[in-house]
């Protein structure tokens, strides 16, 4: 690879071609006719911005950050074609020697979280490429106790491997006691002039949330700054993200737990990130934290000629015109796709929100991230309603493998039925777990999901979104349906 060049290219071929299928899940009916339209919740999903944003650092042959370049010093190519730079922002830090930094990643691995590990690993790779040489990185997990996945080290490779080892553990969340233990450890081992930062990724659902202010005071006394990243809990994924927002003692407690978690960053001088937007674009979250901490990131934006191209097939080259300088640690964001995915995921995990206007056929037709097929099964009459069963067959070969070489992941399904005027008639929403061992994969088995919708006779349009939660890849189907 030539100096000063970053090539980002991942090619994925989607296809089933399986010899057999494993019946992994048989969903139950979760939806009935609504009787009215769910208008105006999200609005139309359209591609309005073709901007691709790249955030990165530049170093000289000695590894020193070079922060004084201009837009004219860079060239961008997409699929081997030069692109005009439409936006440029120089690093915030222009000069000054960085101070030693002790940086801890604290990841919630309790039984209530499972949805973000793959995105954390990918974003951490770019993050670790951009920290300065005076940084010691530690990767820790917590459930009921503090877990050391990698003690503080200057070896970026070891830290990255620790992210991959941060598997889910059973047990309740004990955020504040473990945060205090980690902060105390950092203060005892670091020098008086060293910076100390903890990045916490958690759903924040700790029953001891009244302890938040006291914990923040301890951390301030020890000179520790906290960045908090809120991710949805399993409870919110399985029930509703509105859990904790309205009504009931448990709902009030959940809301206060999340507020207390976010307050840790405010009280210690850090920043808080959260919501489905954060886990859909974890790269941007990590880039924001990195720029806030170190201030060495350049930002370049260019308009793509291929707004509907799957990001896995988008080959981007970013180089400097000075070959002795090295571009590295690129955070990349295609704004249009992130926004579209955010809206779909928001619709999936919220109250009914996809309307006929939101279901743009062209937009739906472009999401083919997962090898899957949709089959419409034989319909059955039930009194004045008709059962519309359907089946999703999911190919496992492109899914993430666990430590034993099998598949262990979670899928979300959103199925919506629209009448001829675009009104929503029925909706189904479910999260389910898929697991295949290595022997089942060798036999050519896949994952089958079945469920059904209920509707009165008529002509409809069925739209089904299949989402792999750990990677946020999705495949979307549309089918005309006649119910007689």
All structural domains of the chain with their residue ranges: 13-41+351-483, 51-90+297-336, 101-293
Question: pTM of the prediction?
Answer: 0.65
User: Which of the four CATH numbers 1.10.760.10, 3.20.20.10, 3.40.640.10, 3.40.50.410 does domain 101-293 have?
Assistant: 3.40.50.410
Q: Which residue has the higher pLDDT, 34 or 101?
A: 101
Report the alpha-carbon distance of residue 204 to residue 255 in Å, rounded: 10
State pLDDT tens for residues 272-295. Answer: 988 666 666 677 888 889 888 889
CATH 2.60.40.10 fits 13-41+351-483, yes or no: yes
Share the mean pLDDT of the chain: 76
Confidence class for position 334, pLDDT limits 50, 70, 90: low
State pLDDT tens for residues 79-131. Answer: 899 999 988 999 988 776 788 999 999 988 875 555 455 556 667 778 888 88
The reply to whether domains 13-41+351-483 and 101-293 share a CATH topology is: no
Report the alpha-carbon distance of residue 130 to residue 27 in Å, rounded: 45
472 Cβ contact list (under 8 Å, min separation 6): 119, 279, 280, 341, 345
From 451, 391, 392, select the one nearest 31 (Cα to Cα): 451
Confidence class for position 357, pLDDT limits 50, 70, 90: very low
188 Cβ contact list (under 8 Å, min separation 6): none
Cβ distance 441 to 406 under 8 Å? yes
When mean pLDDT is compared across 68-77, 297-306, 307-316, the lowest value belongs to 307-316
State pLDDT tens for residues 191-220. Answer: 999 999 999 988 888 889 999 999 999 999
The one-character DSSP state at 440 is H
Q: What is the pLDDT of residue 405?
A: 80
The one-character DSSP state at 401 is B
């Amino acid at each position: 690879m030539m100096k000063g060049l970053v090539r980002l290219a991942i090619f994925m071929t989607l296809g089933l071609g399986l010899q057999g299928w494993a019946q992994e899940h048989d969903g139950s009916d979760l939806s009935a006719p609504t009787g009215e339209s769910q208008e105006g919740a999200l609005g139309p999903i359209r591609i309005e911005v073709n901007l691709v944003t790249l955030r990165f650092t530049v170093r000289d042959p000695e590894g020193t950050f070079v922060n004084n370049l201009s837009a004219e010093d860079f060239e961008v190519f997409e699929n081997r074609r030069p692109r005009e730079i439409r936006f440029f922002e120089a690093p915030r830090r222009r000069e000054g020697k960085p101070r030693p930094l002790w940086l801890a990643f604290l990841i919630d691995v309790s039984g209530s979280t499972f949805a973000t590990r793959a995105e954390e690993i990918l974003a951490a790779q770019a993050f670790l490429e951009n920290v300065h040489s005076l940084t010691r990185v530690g990767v820790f997990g917590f459930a009921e106790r503090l877990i050391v996945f990698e003690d503080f080290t200057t070896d970026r490779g070891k830290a990255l491997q620790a992210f991959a080892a941060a598997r889910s553990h059973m047990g309740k969340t004990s955020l504040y006691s473990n945060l205090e233990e980690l902060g105390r450890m950092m203060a005892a081992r670091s020098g008086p002039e060293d910076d100390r930062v903890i990045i916490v990724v958690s759903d924040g659902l700790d029953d001891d949330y009244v302890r938040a202010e006291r914990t923040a005071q301890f951390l301030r006394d020890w000179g520790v700054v906290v960045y908090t990243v809120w991710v949805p809990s399993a409870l919110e994924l399985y029930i509703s993200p509105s859990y904790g927002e309205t009504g009931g003692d448990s709902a009030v407690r959940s809301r206060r737990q999340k507020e207390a978690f976010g307050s840790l960053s405010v009280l210690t001088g850090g920043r808080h990130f959260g919501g489905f937007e954060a886990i859909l674009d974890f790269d941007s979250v990590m880039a924001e934290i990195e720029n806030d901490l170190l201030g060495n990131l350049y930002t370049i934006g260019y308009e793509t000629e291929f707004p509907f191209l799957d990001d896995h097939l988008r080959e981007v080259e970013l180089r400097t015109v000075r070959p002795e300088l090295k571009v590295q640690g690129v955070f990349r964001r295609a704004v249009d796709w992130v926004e579209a995915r955010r809206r779909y995921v928001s619709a999936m995990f919220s109250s009914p929100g996809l309307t006929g206007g939101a279901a743009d056929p062209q937009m739906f037709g472009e999401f083919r991230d997962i090898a899957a097929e949709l089959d419409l099964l034989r319909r059955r009459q039930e009194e004045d309603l008709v059962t519309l069963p359907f089946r999703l067959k999911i190919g496992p070969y492109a899914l993430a493998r666990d430590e034993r070489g099998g598949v262990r992941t979670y899928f979300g399904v959103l199925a919506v039925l629209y009448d001829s005027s675009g009104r929503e008639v029925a909706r189904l929403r479910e999260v389910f777990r898929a697991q295949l061992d290595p022997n089942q994969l060798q036999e050519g088995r896949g994952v089958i999901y079945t469920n059904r919708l209920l509707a009165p006779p008529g002509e409809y349009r069925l739209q089904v979104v299949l989402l792999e939660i750990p990677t946020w890849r999705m495949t979307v189907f549309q089918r005309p349906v006649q119910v007689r």
